[in-house]
Amino acid sequence: MKKLTALALSTVAAIAVSVFSAEAKDLKIGLSNGWVGSEWRTQMIDEAKAAAAAWGDKGQKVEVVVQSANVDVPGQIAHIRNFISEGVDAIIINPNSPTAFDPVFAQAKEAGILVISTDAEVSSPDATYVGIDQKAWGAAGAKWLAETLGGKGNVVAINGVAGHPANEMRVAGYKEVFSQYPDIKVVNEVNANWDQAQGQQAMQNLLATYPDINGVWVQDGMAAGAWKSIIDAGKASDIAATGEIRKDFIDLWTKDKLNSGASVNPPGVMASALNVAVLMLQGKELKEPATAGQYGNALYLPIPFIDSKNLAEAAKALEGKPGYYSYTSQLSIPEAEALFK
- pLDDT beyond 50 at 163: yes
- pLDDT beyond 70 at 1: no
How large is the average pLDDT for residues 330-338? Answer: 98
- pLDDT beyond 70 at 11: no
The more confident residue out of 129 and 166 is: 129
CATH architecture of 134-263: 3-Layer(aba) Sandwich (3.40)
According to DSSP, the residues that pair with 297 across neighbouring strands are: none
How large is the average pLDDT for residues 309-332? Answer: 97
pLDDT of res. 23: 55
* The domain defined by 15-132+267-304+328-337 carries CATH number 3.90.230.10: no
CB atoms within 10 A of CB 99: 12
How large is the average pLDDT for residues 174-199? Answer: 97
Domain with CATH 3.40.50.2300 in the chain: 15-132+267-304+328-337, 134-263
Question: pLDDT (tens digit, 9 = 90+) per residue, 294-303?
Answer: 999 999 999 9
pLDDT of res. 38: 83
pLDDT of res. 5: 36
Radius of gyration for the chain, computed over Cα atoms and rounded to the nearest angstrom: 22
- pLDDT beyond 60 at 341: yes
Question: pLDDT (tens digit, 9 = 90+) per residue, 90-101?
Answer: 999 999 999 999
Q: How far apart are the first and last CA of the chain?
A: 31
What gap in Å lies between CA 225 and CA 144, rounded to an integer?
20
Q: Give the pLDDT band of residue 37 (cuts 50, 70, 90).
A: confident
What gap in Å lies between CA 86 and CA 236, rounded to an integer?
53
Classify strands 298-300 and 128-131 as parallel, antiparallel or unpaired. Answer: parallel
DSSP 71-108: --HHHHHHHHHHHHHHT-SEEEEE-S-SSTTHHHHHHH
What gap in Å lies between CA 65 and CA 258, rounded to an integer?
41
The closest alpha carbon to 48, from 312, 276, 211, 337, belongs to: 276
How large is the average pLDDT for residues 102-115? Answer: 98
What gap in Å lies between CA 295 and CA 10, rounded to an integer?
47
Contact 30, 281 (CB under 8 A): no
How large is the average pLDDT for residues 236-257? Answer: 96
DSSP E strands in the chain: the ranges are: 27-33, 62-68, 90-94, 114-117, 128-131, 152-159, 183-191, 215-218, 240-242, 260-263, 298-300, 305-306
What gap in Å lies between CA 208 and CA 232, rounded to an integer?
12
